[in-house]
Amino acid sequence: MSSLHGDGLHDVVITGENETIDGQGDIWWNMWKQRSSLQFTRPNLIEFLNSKNIIIANVIFRNSPFWNIHPVYCSHAVIRYVTILAPADSPNNDGIDPGLVRD
């Protein structure tokens, strides 16, 4: 499950003045690198499913365990003015990974 997760949400707003949401991914990355200790999929930092009217703006996302922002089956999603940070050796930390999009 993602750190911030929602299914069937409407009118979601996550904004700030460049505040940081830190996923503390190093714990998950170490388990993934060891392979033997990771028994679950690493969580996305934010994932919304079947949701609409989403705004994510002016926020810094740092050290996500897996993908940072993952909207799936969402419509009317606006993601702008975000900064996404992770070490160069962190595994598969896509910034914005849109799933299937609805009209």
With cut-offs at 50, 70 and 90, classify the pLDDT of residue 38.
Answer: confident
Given a cut of 80, whether residue 78 has pLDDT beyond it is yes
Kindly provide the residue ranges of all beta strands, DSSP E only, lying in the chain, ordered along the sequence.
4-7, 10-22, 46-49, 52-62, 69-72, 75-80, 83-85
Tokens of 47: 């994932």
Of 21-25, 36-40, 58-62, 79-83, the range with the lowest mean pLDDT is 36-40
Read off the pLDDT of each residue in 3-10 and give the average, rounded to a whole number: 94
Residues 6 or more apart whose CB falls under 8 angstroms from that of 26 comprise: 63
Q: The pTM is what?
A: 0.87
With cut-offs at 50, 70 and 90, classify the pLDDT of residue 63.
Answer: very high
Half-sphere exposure of 4 (CA within 13 A, CB side): 18
Q: What are the structural domain ranges in the chain?
A: 4-85
